[in-house]
Amino acid sequence: MEVDRAILVGAPERNLDPARAGEHLDELARLTDTAGGEVVGVLQQRLQRPNPRFYIGEGKADELRELVRRTGANLVIFDEELSPAQGKNLEDHLGIRVLDRSELILDIFARRARSSEAKMQVELAQLEYLLPRLRRMWSHLSRIRGGIGLRGPGETQLETDRRLIGRRIADLRRKLQGVARARAVQRGARAGCFRAALVGYTNAGKSSLLRALSGSDLFVEDRLFATLDSATRTVDLGEGYTALLTDTVGFIRKLPHHLVASFRSTLEEAREADLLLHVIDGADPDWEERRDVVAEVLLELELDGGDTMLVFNQMDRLTHGEAAALRDRVRALEPEPAVFVSALRPKSLEPLKEALKARIRARLAHVRIRLPAADGQALAAVYREGEVLSRSDEDGAVTLTARVNSELRRMLDSRAGVDVEGVR
């Protein structure tokens, strides 16, 4: 299979720090590698405002055409989102395909999608992205002059394509609504369990962390967007505590809006979670920007109001001094304590497990329960689903002090012969 030879184009605003602009192009290069392309050239221009015709200046567009000729590139990828007109003008000027960052990410998602749900979500995003660009795809037909029967087909085909795409979008939305309803039923079946969702920048190590905590065999790869499908696993926290952890799709700077919208059903797992574990690559020097990008996406998805804990992963890649400096920086910036772990070092996961257990305990009611010794079913439920702190047996009755969740307390309150009162 022939590998695409790509030239990357960055056109940041003038007020963006030059080092940060270089990092953005480095990330675009990693995205290109993930998509299976080879970077053969880079062009950059700092802009006061985008050129309406080419996004970059016309002189820079001529320089880009010469670079295409010298390198033999067959693809140009812009780090900024191009309008349909800009994309078409650039392709005409350069004579090769032109993509923007959104199209590249959509292509990666299409390659990485494995489940039928992920494939539908990606297809929906691609079609919604394509729809306003159809006219430019068919504009060459409008240049045919004269001849009855030669003026109409382009517009006819354009309208036909629009109708077909519109029907497919409606069909995909209907199917994804069905998936969302099925997910809601699954979440209902897990009511009463403590649920945490892993969110974070792509390649921060969320899947590695879930695999290390749960012991399950999850796919892990050191590439952007290695996994798109959410996975939920049970994690044994010790002392009888368990939690359901869900891995979600990674975020990235300038994540296409259509993609965020189409993955809403997957991210409903995060919406229903008791706690969001915001996983950050502790070895990434740009972790603060990555943290802010994730916060912006969570805000867009209206997931920013819940309980959140920062988890700095991949600490094994830092020296002792670097790790100490990171901890000091985080303490200075973050109002809530963070946890520092490595998915490759099981002992480092203990503070995270303790933090999760503390969150679970905080949600449990401290109660005194008096019940008949013969009510083995209620007694077993307290031992199985709660945390028994003390027990005394006398006169055919059992008195327990315990921590119980709201569902267990409702069951005990409704049971004949069982008396439950809160303990301060």
User: Do 368 and 320 share a structural domain?
Assistant: no
User: Do 331 and 230 share a structural domain?
Assistant: yes
Give the residues across from 97 on adjacent strands: 75
User: Do 345 and 206 share a structural domain?
Assistant: yes
In this prediction, residue 55 carries a pLDDT of 94
Confidence of residue 310 (pLDDT cuts 50, 70, 90): very high
User: Do 353 and 226 share a structural domain?
Assistant: yes
Where does a domain end: 184, 216, 247? Answer: 184
196 phi, psi to nearest 5 deg: -125, 145
User: Do 389 and 249 share a structural domain?
Assistant: no
pLDDT digits (tens, 9 = 90+) for 359-370: 988 888 889 999
In this prediction, residue 152 carries a pLDDT of 40
User: How many Cα atoms within 13 Å fall on the side-chain side of residue 111?
Assistant: 17
Where does a domain end: 87, 109, 131? Answer: 109
Looking at the chain, the whole-number percentage of residues with pLDDT higher than 70 is 85
What pTM was estimated for this model as a whole? 0.76
- The answer on pLDDT for 277 being more than 90 is yes
User: Do 368 and 357 share a structural domain?
Assistant: no
Token pair belonging to 177: 């609504």
Confidence of residue 146 (pLDDT cuts 50, 70, 90): very low
User: Do 223 and 120 share a structural domain?
Assistant: no
| Structural domains in the chain (count) | 4
Q: What is the CATH number of the domain that holds 21?
A: 3.40.50.11060
Question: For 121-125, 211-215, 312-316, 351-355, which range has the lowest pLDDT when averaged over its residues?
Answer: 121-125
Average pLDDT estimate for 330-359:
92
User: Do 304 and 214 share a structural domain?
Assistant: yes
Beta-carbon count within 10 A of 413 CB: 11
Confidence of residue 116 (pLDDT cuts 50, 70, 90): confident
- The answer on pLDDT for 111 being more than 50 is yes
The 10 Å CB-count burial string (b at 16+, else e) for 187-225 is beeeeebbbbbbbbbbbbbbbbbbbbbbeeebebeeebb
In this prediction, residue 186 carries a pLDDT of 65
In this prediction, residue 144 carries a pLDDT of 38
Average pLDDT estimate for 79-84:
89
Where does a domain end: 361, 379, 411? Answer: 361
Q: Which domain holds residue 56?
A: 5-109
In this prediction, residue 239 carries a pLDDT of 81
In this prediction, residue 141 carries a pLDDT of 39
Q: What is the CATH number of the domain that holds 211?
A: 3.40.50.300
Averaged pLDDT score across all residues of the chain: 83
The residue among 81 and 220 whose pLDDT is bigger is 81
Spatial neighbors of 52 by CB under 8 A, at least 6 apart, are 85, 86
Beta-carbon count within 10 A of 270 CB: 22
User: Do 152 and 25 share a structural domain?
Assistant: no
User: Do 351 and 241 share a structural domain?
Assistant: yes
205 phi, psi to nearest 5 deg: 100, 25
